[in-house]
Each structure stands twice: as structure tokens, then as C-alpha cells.
Copies of this chain bind each other. A is one copy, B any other.
Amino acid sequence: MDTQVAVIAPPKRPRGRPRKTLGERDDGNRRRELILGAARLFRRKGFAATSTRDIAAAAGMQSGSPFYHFKSKQSLLFAVMEEGMQSAIAQQQRALDASPAGLRPADRLRVLVRNHFDVLLGPGSDFIPVMLYEARSITPRQRAVIAELQSTYEAAWTPVLAALQSEGRLKAEVKLARLLIFGALNWSAQWYDRRKGATLDQLTQAAMGLFIGEAG
């Protein structure tokens, strides 16, 4: 009679994993799921308070598996930030491309502000808030990469603000104005509730009124 070593078989894949459609490869899919889940958790609980086990569970994995895709928890955070910035840049470019050619500075600013609220508060957008609030948890080198992406994003704003200033509609130094404006917008990630209160259009209207006296 041979000895039964494992009396109780461990449940196989206790949490449901996303089933693959026939013939569908998921090369980078699990990696994406990790990034998505991490973004959500990092935003809700903060980077330091989120365990890699939380993240693994959110993707239906075992506790050690995230390290097959990412060499460290920190590199996962960096991936969230980098991906967030890259898609924000792309989204902003699309918004600008979709707007009429001869737009006057005030209307151009409105496009940028409205799009920024989308990036920040739109559905499924935890990436940018995480980037904004967890910067101290990445290395200086990683921070430099993110800063570079931020510069690209902000580059679209500077000429618009400069034009408004020379029109006399923006009464503050451009560089400080940009910092203050981004503050006003970014802070909304802390208080905005999609389910109640203002719509993103109303928010945009209020911001435009505040910054350049554009009446509703």
C-alpha cells in the first residue's frame, strides 16, 4: 500500500481566470492585466500600502507570479506611470487634431482643459492620478523619464497660454500660471465624484471662467 502524501488536493486555479478565446494569444495580456489592476489598487490604497499579493490576486495569479512579468514592485509602478503618460499624450494629440484649424487661443485652451479632465477623471483612468501622487516612490532615473513625458504633454499648453497672456486675457506669468492651472485641474482627482455634482463640461466651464474670465 503506497503512502498518499497529499491527502487534500489543492484547488486548481481557485479564482476564475479570464478564459482565452479560441486561437487568441495572450502574450502581453497578463502583463496588461497586472498593470491595470496595479493602477487601480495604487490609486485606491497608495503604492506602499498595496502588496504585490493584492496585485497578483486582482489578476487571478499566485503571489509570486507578478515577478515573472516585472522584476520588482517598483518597476510595476513605473510601468503604470509611463503607460499613463504615453496614452495621455496620445489622447491630447488626438483632441488637438480633431479640433478646427484656426481655433483662437481661448478655445484652444478649452480643448486642452476639457481633455485634461477626461484624462484625469474619465472612466478607467487611474494611471495619471497614480503618476501624480506616487512620484516619490520611483527612482530618480525613472522620475527623469516621467518628467520628460510630462514636458511633452505640457508643451502643448505653453504657446496657448503665452498667446492668451499677450492678448491680455491671462494676467499672470506663463510659467507660474501653468503650474497653478495644472494644480487647479489635477486637484480635482481628489474631490471629483463622477456620480454626483458637476459634469466634466461644467467643470471645464468653471475653470475657463476662473482662468481667463470666459463667462458661461
Contact = CB atoms under 8 A, between A and B. Distances in A.
A213 B181 CA distance: 14
Contacts of A187: 179-180, 182-184, 186-187
Given A171-B215, A187-B179, A137 B49 contact: yes
A157 to B, nearest CB: 14
A162 interface: no
Given A214-B171, A215-B171, A176 B49 contact: no
B177 A206 contact: yes
A184 to B, nearest CB: 4
A190 B48 CA distance: 19
A198 interface: yes
A95 interface: no
Given A171-B214, A184-B181, A184-B184, A176 B137 contact: no
A39 to B, nearest CB: 16
A136 interface: yes
Interface string A117-138: 0000000000000000100110
Interface of A: 44-49, 133, 136-137, 170-173, 176-177, 179-188, 190-191, 198, 202-203, 205-207, 209-211, 213-216
